[in-house]
Amino acid sequence: MNLVPEWDYIYDQKNLHDKEKVYLKGKDKIVPPFRFGVEDVATKMWFHKLAYPGQCLTNSHLDIIFYYLRKKGKYAKEPKVKFTTTDCLFFKTIHALYEKFIAQKKNLSLITAQHAIADYIRGRKMLCGSPWHLCDHVFFIIHMETESHWILGRLNIEERRVYMYNSLSTAMKDSAAIKACQPFAVLLPHFFALFDEFKKENKPICLDPFEVVKVDGLPQQTSNDCGCFVASFAEYFIDMKPIPPIFDVEKHRDRLAVLFYKYARMKEVEFIDSEDEAPPKGPKKNLS
């Protein structure tokens, strides 16, 4: 795929996915950077890693993709699913809190309405965030550091279940994935108890951990494509489409790379910024 014809590749196109440095010296920069709301993209390698199978997606890729999924849900005229997403920082934040929580023998005083997790739940922490009590589902980006592997978590608030989507399912990987979901399952019920919006019919909210449920029958990756699988699993659910048993990862990567490149170019050419992407306005000058 020749995603951007004017970009100077150093190697033949068919061999690009095997190389780390694919651009001529000094030709990797995007000037000015492409602005994607939550983050700017200043290098062409960002698109290369997104487009070609076997390339590991980074926090930057997943944060940007899940930001646009949030926008899709928030601004759709007739959304099929009421949902919001989190980002990679949320995963790090809740895991850090869980480690403290366990180290301090499940000290509930650590769970407060002032914690960053509570701000996520209120919908205040991210661009295009929605209050969770207005959603039916919340998507989590989960990184299993010991396995160097991304999985998708989906909280069904009504069912009190965290559904785990793993594109590299083995007994060992599934065990590690369930462990990675525990901070969400254990801590979120306590955070929900802080908000009246999650209490129904004047009944106290249950503090029992959410059930973690493995989603079976998923297509499985054969290379380092877990990030693409995570993004696509979320999009299939949001669009209310069944996840196919055969997954053409190259097709999905091509589509994502082209969509983001075309959108960035359109913004440049037409000077388009949505309200949440526009740079903050400076203070008004006193003209008197």
Q: Pick left, alpha or beta for residue 240 (phi over 0 → left; psi -120 to 50 → alpha; otherwise beta).
A: left
Mean pLDDT, the chain, integer: 88
How far, in Å, CA of 168 to CA of 145, rounded?
Answer: 14
Distance CA 3, CA 258 (A): 7
Residue 262, burial from CB neighbour count under 10 angstroms (0-12, 13-18, 19+)? exposed
Of 11, 194, 32, which is closest to residue 117 (Cα–Cα)?
194
**Between residues 208 and 2, which one has the greater pLDDT?**
208
Task: For residue 233, give Cα distances in angstroms to 44, 66, 111, 139, 219.
Answer: 26, 12, 31, 10, 10
Cis? peptide before 242, omega within 30° of 0:
no
Give the Cβ contact number of residue 48 at 10 Å: 22
Q: What is the pLDDT of residue 267?
A: 84
Mean pLDDT of 227-251: 96
Which pair of structure tokens corresponds to residue 22?
């694919």
DSSP letter for each residue of 140-160 = EEEEEGGGTEEEEEEEETTTT
Residue 287 domain flag: no
In a domain, 263, yes or no: yes
Could you give the percent of the chain with pLDDT greater than 70? 85
Kindly report the pTM of this predicted structure.
0.88
Alpha helices, DSSP H, located in 155-248: 171-192, 226-238
Residue 108: what pLDDT? Answer: 97
Is residue 115 assigned to a domain? yes
Q: Let me know if residue 130 belongs to a domain.
A: yes
Q: What is the mean pLDDT of residues 83-111?
A: 98
pLDDT in tens, 151-177: 999 999 999 999 999 999 999 999 999
How many structural domains is the chain composed of? 1
* Residue 237's pLDDT band (cuts 50, 70, 90): very high
Domain CATH number, residue 260: 3.40.395.10
285, part of any domain: no
Write the CA distances from 33 to 2, 206, 245, integer angstroms: 20, 47, 37
Q: Is residue 220 part of a domain?
A: yes
User: Considering only 56-65, 70-79, 182-191, which range has the smallest mean pLDDT?
Assistant: 70-79
Residue 279 lies in a domain: no
In which domain, by residue range, is 175 found?
24-270
Q: Tell me, what's the pLDDT at 278?
A: 46
Helix (H, G, I), strand (E, B) or coil at 178: helix
CB atoms near residue 74 (< 10 Å): 16
Residue 18 lies in a domain: no
